Structure 1
Amino acid sequence: MPQHCNRLCRSSCAYIHSHGDQNRIHGDVKSANILLYDNLMPKVSDLGSSKILSIDKYASVVAADMSYVDPLYMKSERFVAKSDVYSFGMVLLKLITRKTVKYGRNIINSLPIEFVKACKVKGNGREMYDRDILSHDYIESKHCMACLDKIGSLAIHCLKEDVDERPTMAEVVDELKEAAEVVDACKHQRNFAER
């Protein structure tokens, strides 16, 4: 899972933010705009907004899923590079919890609010993780849990209200690489135990 997230960041948003014309942002990062190709290689689609959105420009009307949009935009009608980071944080939460942004009976629960609340109370969001991701094998489950904890912590970091406290997409890639290393260690231990 983190390898796919890592590829996604490296191949799209991080590239948009750090290569070529650095005044471009995606503006509509959401799970529906992430397509999986061969070998589950993720690709970001719907780059139409990025052609018209420039960093620190005002955009009074955007065709974006408002559930994923940075609260900064709601207040100022302005996108910044870290607005995509906020949206990607929402994607990460959906990925590790398998919940929609608004969920529950009558769609009253907000995924980021509930996840942050769980982390404050319990120290992590484990009670909200998708149980199907976790393995029944103790060694694998322990590493999967550590990986999910890293991704959950990263998601919270991406969702910070203060834009300056959010990581850059390049930093997100680095964090996801660390999460992938946890999974790789898990696979290595499992292979060693099977010998």
Structure 2
Amino acid sequence: MVVEKSWYNFSTPDLYGDRTLPGRFPRGVPVVLDFAIVEGVACPAKGQRPPPDYACVSNNSYCVNATVGQSGYALSYVCNCSEHYQGNPYIVNGCQDIDECKFPDLYYCASNGICKNRLGGYDCPCKPGTKGDGKLGHCAEKFPLVAKAIVGTTGCIFVIVVLSFIFLLRKEKKKTREFYERNGGPTLEKAKLIKLFKKEELMPIITKKSNLIGKGGFGEVYKGNLGNEIVAVKKTNSGSLLENEQFANEVIIQSQVIHRNIVRLIGCCLEVDSPLLVYEFLSNGSLHDILHSNGKKPLNLDIRLSIAAESAEGLAYMHSKTNTKILHGDVKPGNILLDDKFVAKISDFGISRLIVRDKQHTRKVIGDMSYVDPVYLQTGLLTEKSDVYSFGVVLLELISRKKASDDNSLVTAFLEAHRRGERATELFEDEIAVAEDLEILQNLARIAVECLNLDVDQRPAMTDIAHRLLIMNKSRNS
């Protein structure tokens, strides 16, 4: 029996040969055959053409020079399969690729690696989230625990911020819609008579302090640009305006009032707590500013008479020439605005009420107390004659350039002069109290006194006042 020399250890029973060894090794014994191709040739050199009977015919095989036993052949060779291939190199396609991934004990791949077989070898890339060389057992996490904690925390904060932003945005939209509906938006939408501005269009104007041009008990007024037009945006005090249908009706009334002596309402914004009203901007400000500001400008009688006539014309139009009678309720110099040519325009009749049926009684007194009709104070009944009284006080301010006060000292002075049958020459401002104009000033004072009559039935109508002032103005300019 032939066995491998290095494997075999002699034992006495082995002397009996084939009777002993098959019993000890029923599956056989290892045998090593030392052989080579002995044709007196060696492996061909690199680039040299192999001989015709070259034995290494399989792909992925190579030749190794060898010397076999005592054969006497100096030159011989054997064929082996290339690394990562196994099989018989002496037959065509005898050397086949080894699937290294099936033999992890022989071909190492780290536990954090992914074994991938390929022709002529294998790869062991690290699993996602790790980096290194899996064959060398170096697959470490790309992000250490601290980095993961930081990224996780940052991610959570980001998600919370985004969710909070979405929540606040939805809440703001809901709030905006509630304001819009509460301020009568649906009614104004149906009317289609006025432009409804978005909050985003007007906020840049009213949030800039330098745009503030006026402030009073009713609210604040800001100057700004909307497109190519300069406008005045009124931000009313919270709760000072009517709500819902009442406010919508008031805006509809204002939008229908188109007259050269009434400030034009351009639009409004209903998406805020208290609506914003957008009016045309008048560059010369109010009559109050012209009459009583620190740097008083000269104001001749012609301009004063024109302002009086135009203001009366605006009020007369509101009282009798609109589809629905409109009462102002707060006639005063501060609500008479002047454009660049000193054309007078009535403003701020937003606090007037829609007069229908018996709705003339107001819940509370509106307007500046220095100009309010005493009868209105007693009865709470606002009529067109209430505006007539207030206009009478404005006329006295125009010709005297003195402020009306709560104690009615200006009104009292003129009424006392009229009662005594005296001329009120000393009450007129010196700038206009020239001899040739005293008759016109007396006529103006007389109209004012008629307006101030405590018997409302004796007060003239605004149409009558406007007509008389218009005649005076025309005769003055003729």
**TM-score clears 0.5:** yes
2:373 is matched with which residue? 70
Question: Aligned-pair distance for 1:38?
Answer: 2.1
1:175 aligns with 2:468: yes
Gapped regions of structure 1 (runs ≥ 5): 136-140, 186-195
- Assess if the C-alpha contact under 8 Å between 2:370 and 2:408 holds in 1: no
One-letter code aligned to 2:318: I
Residues 22 and 167 (structure 1), Cα distance of their counterparts in 2 relative to 1, 3 Å cut: farther
C-alpha distance in 1, partners of 2:354/2:380? 11
1:41 aligns with 2:41: no
- Measured against aligned partners, the alpha-carbon deviations of 1:137-184 in whole angstroms (never above 9, x if no partner) come to xxxx31x21111110000000111011101111100122123324533
Which residue of structure 2 aligns with residue 54 of structure 1?
355
Q: Find 1:110's aligned residue among 381, 399, 409.
A: 409
Matched with 1:138 is none
Q: 2:441 aligns with which of 148, 151, 159?
A: 148
d(CA) in 2 for partners of 1:133 and 1:53?
40
Change in Cα spacing, 1:80 to 1:63, as seen in structure 2 (3 Å) is closer
Distance in 2, Cα, partners of 1:179 & 1:22: 29
**Which one of 115, 120, 126 corresponds to residue 419 of structure 2?**
120
Distance in 1 between the 2:407 and 2:337 partners?
Answer: 28
Q: Is 1:20 matched up with 2:313?
A: no
- Alpha-carbon contact 2:399-2:429 (below 8 Å) kept: yes
- How many pairs are equivalent? 173
CA separation of 1:164 and 1:39: change in aligned 2, threshold 3 A: same
Opposite residue 322 of structure 2, the aligned amino acid is: G
Over alpha carbons, which structure has the higher Rg? Answer: 2
Q: Percentage identity across aligned positions? A: 36
Structure-2 change in CA distance of 1:113 and 1:53 (3 Å)? farther
Q: Are residues 1:159 and 2:452 paired?
A: yes
Aligned residue identity for 2:398? L
2:432 to 118, 126, 133: 133
Whether the 8 Å CA contact 1:26–1:53 is kept in 2: the answer is no
Q: Distance in 1 between matches of 2:438 and 2:398?
A: 14
Give the deviation of 1:109 after TM superposition. Answer: 6.1
Tell me whether 1:32 sits opposite 2:334 in the alignment.
Answer: yes
Amino acid at match of 2:427: M
Maintained 8 Å contact 1:53/1:59: no
Gap change, CA 1:145 and 1:181, over 3 Å in 2: farther
- In the alignment, structure 2 segments of 5+ residues that lack a partner are 1-303
SS at match of 1:48: helix
In 1: Cα distance, 2:477 partner to 2:418 partner: 25
1:118–1:127 CA contact under 8 A, matched in 2: no
> What CA distance in whole angstroms lies between the structure 2 residues aligned with 1:120 and 1:91?
20
**How far off its partner does 1:116 sit?**
1.0
Distance 2:470 2:387 in 1: 19
1:85 CA displacement: 0.5
Counterpart-to-counterpart distance in 2, 1:170 and 1:109: 26
Task: Pick 1 or 2: higher relative contact order, CA cutoff 8 A, min separation 6.
Answer: 1
SS state at 2:369 partner? coil
Structure 1 or 2: larger strand share?
A: 2
CA-CA distance at 1:120 after TM superposition = 2.6
Amino acid at match of 2:401: R
Q: In 1, are the aligned partners of 2:370 and 2:407 still within 8 Å (CA)? A: no
Are the equivalent residues in 1 in contact too, given 2:329–2:386 (CA < 8 A)? yes
Q: SS of the residue aligned with 1:35? A: strand
Query: Compared with structure 1, are the counterparts of its residues 53 and 83 closer, same or farther at alpha carbon in structure 2 (3 Å cutoff)?
Result: farther
For 1:42 and 1:23, the matched residues in 2 are separated by 21
| 1:113 Cα deviation after fit | 0.9
SS of structure 2 residue aligned to 1:2? helix
Q: Give me the whole-angstrom Cα distance separating, in 2, the residues matched to 1:123 and 1:94.
A: 19
SS in 1 for 2:420: helix
Q: What is the CA-CA distance between 1:134 and the residue it aligns to?
A: 3.1
Query: Which amino acid in the other structure matches residue 306 of structure 2?
Result: Q
Once the two structures are superposed, the pairs formed by residues 73-112 of structure 1 within 5 Å of their partners are 73-102=376-405, 110-112=409-411
CA distance in structure 2 between the partners assigned to 1:164 and 1:70 by the alignment: 13
How big is the shift at 1:19? 1.4
Provide the secondary structure at the position in 2 that maps to 1:43. strand
The 3 A distance-change label for structure 1 pair 129 and 182 is farther
